[in-house]
Structure 1
Amino acid sequence: MTHTLASCHRLLDVIGYVESDPRVQVVFTIAPDVFNHRVEQLLDGLGALVLPWQQAVRERFDLGLAAAHGGLHELHAPLLLLAHGAGRSKRVRSGPSAVPAPADHPVYGLDAQRLTHDGRVLPAALALSHEYEVEVLRRQCPDALATAVVVGDPCVDRLVASLPRRPDYRRAMGLGEHQELVVVASTWGPEGSFGRWPDLLPQVMAQLPAERYRVAALLHPAIWAAHGHRQIRAWLRNCLDAGLLLPEPTEDWRAPVVAADHVIGDHGSVTSYAAAVGRPTLVLPAPEPAPAPGTPQHLLALHAPRLDLHRPLLPQLALTGRIDPAAVLGALTARPGDAAELLRRTMYRLLQLTEPDRPARTDPVPVPRPDHRDTDPNG
């Protein structure tokens, strides 16, 4: 069930564990979601078999995969439910207001509102990255505790596997041997860096010498969906004319992160993943309340160097050493390097099939192809 581009990228990481098995036929469907812009285009470009939503909810399947919550109760299948970002750190808002949720509100994705429907627990297996999520689940939705499986994080495992390909990613992005890449990452919504500081990218580009630095913006797919590609590019036209790299949301964001020399980010997932693989990271002020304790976002909010928008940028790029990448990685995953094996085992258990003898693979992300934007994040 592909709800958005973000959830689709996570599912593309995971289906590779079973997709090559001749006993398994994989089909996709696009669940109703306000941010599902361009999901159909991505799947069509991958040659995926896509069933209309109204047909999918009438069929029965041996396994369902989802990395978002809308419409789960309509699917007729044992469901494996994953997170689509760096763990589960956000608090649930109590209503439509833009006021942030208080610190005692439930953690999104581990709450009964999203994990149950009419008294029924929706997932047959709830994939968690860490034991601390089990404890949150125990408090918030104890009925779902029996479905919890700590599998780690397949996204960070692919990032780690991609580190040796850093020179390839940099060449593909057109970076010179002596140039440094600064990645500016934004999650979606008014508290993301793009929504909260609309002048950030122009400021960064104005302060960095163009012969030494290149700048890339990684905008959450929901930003593109909410505003439209034409509008995003219009807002950033001056930056693009000055050389800003702006990957499409259908492209795999992990190659620029591995290629980066510096990352400026907010409380979104990209910032956590970048810090976990050792990219020097400056964080923008996090919204209130702080992210859920134990999460990588909370760790960064407490200990990472803070970007001061009123001070020159160049000296701040040298602020390193205050956040330990191993600590961020440890907050991201309790099973480093093992997500492929553990997720595949869970999927075959739900499929009621024996696992293949060959080891589960964790592949590096593909090298960007400038002449072909809509690429398969699974390689």
Structure 2
Amino acid sequence: MTSLEWPSAPIGIDASRWASRPGCRTVLVVAHTIASCQRLLDVIEHVESDPRVQLLFTVAPDVFNHQVKRFLDRLGALVLPWQQAIREQFDLSLAAAHGGLHQLHAPLFLMAHGAGRGKRVRPGPYGGPVLADPPVYGLDAQRLTHGGRVLPTALALSHDHELEVLRRQCPEAVEAAVVIGDPCADRLVASLPWRRDYRRGLGLSNRQELVVVSSTWGRDGVFGRWPDLIPQLMTQLPPDRYRIAALLHPAVWDAHGHRQIRAWLRDCIDVGLVLPDPTEDWRGPVVAADHVIGDHGSVTAYAAAIGRPTLLLPGLRSVPAADTPQHLLAVSANRLDPHRPIPPQLALATGVDQQAVMAALTSRPGHAGVLLRRTMYRLLHLTEPGRHRQTGPVPSPGSGSGKAPHDLAG
């Protein structure tokens, strides 16, 4: 699809005749999962208001993609079927996951969808060699190249350390690398002054402490390894002093079904568990939290980076990549022993070195938005318009509108 054409399938036959604003640069937003889509929503706000740019979305192949189309429809996005998207040409494509990217016909801006790249490549379901030093996922040639071609035109990195890993694992992709920092971390920092508003949105009283349970997907996640933990918390923590919120990775919901997840937790919900839908922004509850119980997932790393006292469940089977925030937490965070009474452990929990976690998370704190915007306009061959908008706080929990807390103040 060139900058002078318009998609036909979502609008009808000969739809380009009816476009009110032709001639826009076209940007294809490639949404693989809810998690990757949420990262992309932070990114596209830097270009989508430009009258020279038209955004289109598509749902890419992924085992966890079956809720994405519904999510995009609720956002009012213009969605192209994948089979049409891979037949057309675009001025730019944006992605935060890897499936099917070799089929696109557009310069590709590729980024991570979580807190850097902390996971290592695991053997597939049918086995394979167990390596002493498995490659870091997302910085490996298997995902960054296809048929001898480097897929991303620009590869967003959160940290200078990732550049060194990339140089070892996939040196042919180094030329595409751009260290931009972490837009999610920047938005969390921008949200900290509004903590009281997030707590109000969650219905917390001044006397209550919020305990956030964060679980990544898979058997190493909190929800998979210790399914009784949330009921234990609901039983042991008095409701006049504590509220409990469970932030489950969208893939947990997709793997088991939304109805099943809510059925498993129905008794807890009935007595006050806060269970946000996976399409809701998880960052407001993290800013509002007084305690975080988590695992090696990104949410736990982000929580520690903004100073939330963090407890990890013991006994991870997989070791995060070195020099990542996940690895720093794995070696320094307090452990929660679910076999012992939980309230004393919460009371004694101390935060890890917040500055060290943030330093492991991003090499460009506060600058991700500027660098993302600059890179996208470079790839679009457009001049950047006006001044860069400031990084804003995340939506307020319970607002029902996706509005930031300062938008609701009046």
TM-score, normalization: structure 1? 0.96
- Among 71, 86, 95, the alignment partner of 1:66 is 95
Pairing of 1:208-247 with structure 2 (within 5 A): 208-247=237-276
Structure 2 counterpart of 1:95, one-letter code: G
Letter in 2 for 1:116: T
| Cα displacement (A) at 1:252 | 0.1
Distance 1:313 1:56 in 2: 51
The AA in structure 2 aligned to 1:280 is P
Q: Identity over the aligned pairs, expressed in percent?
A: 72
**Residues in 2 aligned to 1:91 and 1:20: alpha-carbon distance in whole angstroms:** 37
Q: Residue type of the partner of 1:136?
A: V
Task: Tell me the amino acid that sits aligned with residue 210 of structure 1.
Answer: P
What's the CA shift for 1:318?
Answer: 2.3
**Deviation by residue 1:99-145 (Cα, 9 ceiling, x = unmatched):** 99655011100000000000000000000000111111111111101
Report which structure shows greater RCO (CA 8 Å, sep ≥6).
1
SS at match of 1:318: helix
Quick check: 1:37 aligned with 2:66?
A: yes
Q: For 1:131, give the aligned amino acid.
A: D
d(CA) in 1 for partners of 2:129, 2:69: 32
Please name the residue that 1:129 is paired with: 158
Asked if 1:177 is matched to 2:200, the reply is no
* Aligned match of 2:329: 300
Q: Is the 8 A contact 1:61 1:77 kept in 2?
A: yes
Task: Give the counterpart of 1:186 among 215, 221, 229.
Answer: 215
Report the CA distance shift for 1:23/1:147 in structure 2 as closer, same or farther (over 3 A): same
Kindly provide the amino acid, as one letter, of the partner of residue 55 in structure 1. Q
Give the match for residue 3 of structure 2: none
CA distance in 1, matches of 2:228, 2:88: 49
What are structure 1's unaligned runs of at least 5 residues? none
Partner of 1:252: 281
Distance 2:130 2:396 in 1: 39
Query: Is 2:381 the counterpart of 1:359?
Result: no
Distance in 1, Cα, partners of 2:98 & 2:348: 39
User: 1:98/1:361 Cα in 2 relative to 1: closer, same or farther (>3 Å)?
Assistant: farther
Q: How many residues were matched structurally?
A: 377
Structure 2: tracts of 5 or more residues without a match? 1-29
CA drift at 1:289: 3.7
- 1:41 shift after superposition: 1.5
- C-alpha distance 251-18 of structure 1, shift in aligned 2 (>3 A): same
1:118 is aligned to 147
User: How do residues 1-379 of structure 1 correspond to structure 2 at under 5 angstroms?
Assistant: 1-96=30-125, 102-285=131-314, 287-321=316-350, 323-369=352-398, 372=400, 375=402
Is the contact made by 1:46 and 1:376 (CA closer than 8 Å) also made in structure 2? no
SS at match of 1:149: strand
After superposition, give the CA deviation of every residue in 1:42-100 in whole Å (9 maximum; x if it has no partner).
11111111111111111111110000000000111110000000010111112216999
Q: 1:368 to 1:81 in 2, by over 3 A?
A: same
Q: Quick check: 2:308–2:351 contact (8 Å CA) kept in 1?
A: no
Secondary structure of the corresponding residue to residue 27 of structure 1: strand
- What is the CA distance between 1:184 and its match in structure 2? 0.2
CA–CA distance in structure 2, aligned partners of residues 252 and 323 of structure 1: 24
Shift of 1:290: 1.6
> For residues 157-190 of structure 1, what are the alpha-carbon distances to aligned partners after superposition, in whole Å with 9 as ceiling and x for unaligned?
0011111111111111111111110000000001
Secondary structure, counterpart of 2:386 in structure 1: coil
Asked if the contact 1:250/1:375 (under 8 Å) is kept, the reply is no
Mapped to 1, the partners of 2:131 and 2:263 lie a distance apart of 36
Rg comparison, structure with higher value = 2
* TM-aligned CA distance change 1:295 to 1:246, over 3 Å: same
Q: Retained in 2: the 8 A contact 1:91–1:103?
A: no
Q: Distance in 1 between matches of 2:219 and 2:57?
A: 31
CA contact under 8 A between 1:187 and 1:266: conserved in structure 2? Answer: yes
SS in 2 for 1:217: strand
Distance 1:49 1:95 in 2: 35
